[in-house]
């Protein structure tokens, strides 16, 4: 079973993806972390995503992901994609690769939350200065006003209201056509993301089963 999980920032899709991959032994690919790891070794990628703050072209992102999957999960089964694909083009590239492997995407979950809720949650995000652990004052609060490691908690510079709004509108612009396409292909399952983590997870597990 191959799964895509979609949702705006703050929808909790990362949390659900981790839980799902543990529960069903899926190979979990979180594209943000993946690309950050690549950027540590690849100067060109680092220049684009960290220095210029831009997104990599679709073909380039896909070719990195494909090479990685060819090495780690060559059968292209039991994959869970988080943060990729996020556009129609990216989805087509992934689909073509899966077809070559006689595989496909079986389910695409869309975790839906309102823009207000997204903003509320993202504004509550705090990062530990010491170990980089991410907390959320609303959904995943730290044990005290410090991280569990004792480090200071700070707000990321890109978690200001203005930047959050820009990211959410970019997300909508690129993802909406993909959502419509997945709906047409009868792959999309919409999930109300404004409920407790366990309740959402219970729903997802039932769909996967």
Binding site for Zn ion (CB under 5 A): 128, 130-131, 133, 147, 149, 151
Q: Which of 42/159 has CB closer to Zn ion?
A: 159
Distance between CA 118 and CA 115 in Å, rounded? 5
Q: Which of 18/133 has CB closer to Zn ion?
A: 133
Q: Which of 128/178 has CB closer to Zn ion?
A: 128
> Strand pairing of 79-82 and 153-154?
unpaired
Residue 166 corresponds to which tokens in the numbers above? 């820009």
**Minimum distance from CB of 128 to Zn ion (Å)?**
3
**Element containing residue 111 per DSSP (H, E):** strand 107-112
Q: Which of 112/146 has CB closer to Zn ion?
A: 146
Residues 153, 147 contacting (CB under 8 angstroms): yes
**Minimum distance from CB of 196 to Zn ion (Å)?**
25
Q: Which of 133/167 has CB closer to Zn ion?
A: 133
Q: Which of 119/153 has CB closer to Zn ion?
A: 153
**Minimum distance from CB of 98 to Zn ion (Å)?**
38
Cis bond before residue 128 (omega within 30° of 0): no
Residue 14 corresponds to which tokens in the numbers above? 């990362």
**Minimum distance from CB of 37 to Zn ion (Å)?**
20
Residues 200, 110 contacting (CB under 8 angstroms): no
**Minimum distance from CB of 144 to Zn ion (Å)?**
12
For residue 6, what are the β-bridge partners? Answer: 110
For residue 112, what are the β-bridge partners? Answer: 192
Q: CA Rg, the chain, in Å?
A: 17
**Minimum distance from CB of 158 to Zn ion (Å)?**
19
Distance between CA 176 and CA 201 in Å, rounded? 24
């Amino acid at each position: 079973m191959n799964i895509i999980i979609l949702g705006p920032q703050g929808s909790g899709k990362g949390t659900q993806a981790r839980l799902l991959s543990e529960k069903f032994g899926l190979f979990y690919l979180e594209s943000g972390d993946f690309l950050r790891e690549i950027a540590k070794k690849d100067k060109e990628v680092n220049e684009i995503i960290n220095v210029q703050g831009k997104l990599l072209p679709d073909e380039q992102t896909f070719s990195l992901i494909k090479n990685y999957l060819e090495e780690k999960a060559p059968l292209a089964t039991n994959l869970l994609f988080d943060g990729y694909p996020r556009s129609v083009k990216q989805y087509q590239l992934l689909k073509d690769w899966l077809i070559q492997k006689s595989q496909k995407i079986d389910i695409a979950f869309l975790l839906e939350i309102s823009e207000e809720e997204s903003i509320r949650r993202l504004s509550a995000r705090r990062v530990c200065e010491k170990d980089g652990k991410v907390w959320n004052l609303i959904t995943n609060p730290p044990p005290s006003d410090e991280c569990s490691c004792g480090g200071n908690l700070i707000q990321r510079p890109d978690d200001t209201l203005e930047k959050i709004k820009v990211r959410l509108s970019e997300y909508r612009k690129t993802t909406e056509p993909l959502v419509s396409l997945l709906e047409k292909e009868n792959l999309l399952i919409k999930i109300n993301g404004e409920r407790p983590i366990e309740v959402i997870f219970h729903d997802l597990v039932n769909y996967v089963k």
